């Protein structure tokens, strides 16, 4: 869907391509592809990922073990193999997001202070790609469910059917909800919409609290609202 939106806006997408060089000059930059093709533009943005920075922390002297990729291995509450040393954030690997780092930090501090906490669940983390429209996800995907041999029910609710979306002339986007057959427990979801990073909170809460689609469907929502599509998807799943 995002590709369709980009194309409608006049963006050219070059897929299955590998850049071999980028040469800047006084008027812009030329990106060379492995196919021999050249792409010319004013700017080139490289997104090459990140690695944990644990150099110079003295971890070896403290007896803290590193994982194969140089990450600090922690349990669900952020403890390393040395149980009075905690770690949170990108150094632990996983989903390197500001929101997950903050949650890891809170859990670690609460646990260190002796409070009862629930361990961080990797399958309940929410994430957003801040494009326009935004892409927000939480829980497991259909692909992950298939890898685990887990049967799931799904509903894809187009945003174009939403009254608030019609008022704002929003035609691109959808809400997808995944649940377990029988119990209806919500295990994942995706929202493609304006402000999806805000809208995903209801699905994130459902995944975190292991709510079922009936509980989501029977809560109150404002009409008209984009968030109403989350409930509409839940109602359709409840009907099954």
Determine how β-strand 186-193 pairs with β-strand 134-139. Answer: antiparallel
- CA atoms within 13 A of residue 236's CA, in its CB half-sphere: 16
Determine how β-strand 28-33 pairs with β-strand 134-139. Answer: unpaired
Transcribe 86-109 into DSSP letters.
B--SGGG-SS--HHHHHHHHHHHH
- At residue 50, the pLDDT reads 83
pLDDT tens, residue order, the chain (240 aa): 999 999 999 999 999 999 999 999 999 999 999 999 999 999 999 888 888 888 888 998 999 999 878 899 999 999 999 999 999 999 998 888 999 999 999 999 999 999 999 999 989 999 999 999 999 999 999 999 999 999 999 999 999 999 999 999 999 999 999 999 999 999 999 999 999 999 999 999 999 999 999 999 999 989 999 999 999 999 999 987
Domains of the chain: 17-47 (no CATH), 59-112 (no CATH), 122-239 (3.30.390.30)
pTM of the model: 0.86
Dihedral of the alpha carbons of 48, 145, 232, 223, in degrees to the nearest 10? -40
Task: Report in angstroms the alpha-carbon separations of 38 from 3, 23, 108.
Answer: 21, 10, 49
Reduce the DSSP state of residue 41 to 3 states and report it.
Answer: strand
- At residue 239, the pLDDT reads 80
For residue 58, what are the contacts with CB-CB under 8 A and spacing of at least 6?
none
For residue 225, what are the contacts with CB-CB under 8 A and spacing of at least 6?
164
């Amino acid at each position: 869907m995002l590709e369709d939106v980009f194309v409608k806006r006049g963006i050219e997408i070059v897929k299955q391509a590998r850049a071999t060089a980028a040469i800047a000059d006084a008027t812009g930059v030329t990106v060379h592809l492995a196919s021999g093709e050249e792409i010319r533009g004013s700017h080139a943005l490289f997104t090459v990922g990140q690695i944990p920075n644990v150099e110079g922390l003295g971890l070896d002297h403290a007896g803290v073990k590193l994982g194969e990729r140089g990450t600090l291995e922690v349990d669900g509450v952020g403890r390393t193999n040395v149980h009075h040393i905690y770690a949170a954030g990108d150094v632990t690997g996983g989903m390197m997001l500001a929101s997950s780092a903050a949650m890891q930090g809170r859990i670690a501090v609460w646990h260190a202070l002796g409070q009862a906490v629930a361990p961080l669940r990797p399958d309940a983390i929410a994430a957003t790609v801040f494009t326009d429209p935004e892409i927000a996800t939480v829980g497991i995907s259909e692909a992950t469910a298939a890898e685990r041999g887990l049967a799931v029910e799904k509903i894809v609710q187009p945003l174009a059917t939403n009254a608030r979306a019609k008022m704002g002339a929003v035609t691109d986007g959808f809400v997808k909800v995944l649940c377990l057959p029988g119990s209806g427990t919500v295990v994942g979801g995706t929202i493609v919409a304006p402000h999806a990073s805000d809208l995903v909170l209801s699905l994130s809460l459902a995944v975190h609290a292991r709510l079922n689609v009936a509980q989501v469907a029977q809560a109150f929502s404002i009409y008209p609202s984009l968030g109403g599509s989350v409930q509409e998807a839940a109602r359709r799943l409840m009907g099954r």
